[in-house]
Amino acid sequence: MPVFTYKGYTIEELQKMSIEELAKIVPARIRRTLLRRLKYGWPKQWEELIKKCLLAKQGKYKGKIKTHARDMIILPFMVGLTIYVHNGKEYVPVQIKPEMVFHRLGEFAYTTKRVQHGAPGVGASKSTKHLSVK
């Protein structure tokens, strides 16, 4: 099985890096977000999620890690955790894998479902009134 690497760095090497070092190798949009968060502070939801993730990694947090922070960037230390992300109706479990690093949590918790249309029948519309109903 191939080992996951991000721009030549293994996941263990990424986990040892600081945010400033990570910002040098990520795409511009993520870099801007990380550097602004370091300069102006993290949003409260992000701080709470980071604390819960760190405690869960140490084995001190036993509950489910739930969050509404869909815009949170997945950082390397989160790999291996299951985070429940709110999709507007319910919390969707998202298993964090190495390939998800530097994406956003909301990308993996879809807010819409696939439409499943029913069969036409009586009362559906005027165009179906002449169909035979079995």
Question: Cα separation of 90 and 109, whole Å?
Answer: 10
**Residue 128 belongs to some domain of the structure:** no
What integer pLDDT is reported at residue 1 of this predicted model?
81
**Residue 21 belongs to some domain of the structure:** yes
**Residue 81 belongs to some domain of the structure:** yes
How many domains in the chain? 1
Overall average pLDDT of the 85-109 stretch: 95
**Residue 122 belongs to some domain of the structure:** no
Mean pLDDT of the chain: 89
Domain that holds residue 85: 5-111
Q: What is the CATH number of the domain that holds 107?
A: 3.30.860.10
Confidence of residue 126 (pLDDT cuts 50, 70, 90): low
Q: What is the pLDDT of residues 38-86, one digit of tens each?
A: 999 999 999 999 999 999 999 999 999 999 999 999 999 999 999 999 9
What integer pLDDT is reported at residue 45 of this predicted model?
94
Confidence of residue 25 (pLDDT cuts 50, 70, 90): very high
**Residue 39 belongs to some domain of the structure:** yes
**Residue 120 belongs to some domain of the structure:** no
**Residue 93 belongs to some domain of the structure:** yes
**Residue 119 belongs to some domain of the structure:** no
What share of the chain in percent tops pLDDT 90?
Answer: 81
